[in-house]
Amino acid sequence: MPDIKLNFVNDSNDKNNSQIVIFQNNESFPFGDAVVAWTVIQNCGAGWNHPFSYPMKNTIAAGDSWGNFSPQLTADNGQRFSIIEDTSGDILKLTGESTDLKEIEVLNALERGAVSANIYKDGKLLAIKTDIAPGQKAVFQFKPTIWIGVASQVQEGEIVNSAVVSQINTEISLLGLKSADIVMRGGGPGHEAAPYTFSLENIVYA
DSSP 26-51: -TTSTTTSPPB--EEE-S--TT-EEE
Q: How confident is the model at residue 133 (pLDDT cuts 50, 70, 90)?
A: very high
Give dist(CA 64, CA 5) in Å, integer. 34
pTM as predicted: 0.94
pLDDT given for residue 31 in this prediction: 58
pLDDT(121) > 70: yes
pLDDT given for residue 88 in this prediction: 84
pLDDT given for residue 89 in this prediction: 87
Query: Quick count: other Cβ atoms within 10 Å of Cβ 117?
Result: 26
Q: Mean pLDDT throughout 125-133? A: 96
pLDDT(106) > 80: yes
Domain with CATH 2.60.40 in the chain: 4-55+143-205
> Do residues 154 and 37 make contact, with C-beta atoms less than 8 angstroms apart?
yes
Q: How confident is the model at residue 30 (pLDDT cuts 50, 70, 90)?
A: low
β-bridge partners, 85: 90
pLDDT given for residue 32 in this prediction: 62
pLDDT(191) > 90: no
Which contiguous run of DSSP H or E holds residue 161? Answer: none
Range list of β-strands (E), the chain: 4-10, 19-23, 39-41, 49-54, 58-64, 73-75, 79-86, 89-97, 104-108, 115-121, 124-132, 137-140, 145-151, 170-173, 177-187, 194-205
CATH assignment, 4-55+143-205: 2.60.40
pLDDT(200) > 70: yes
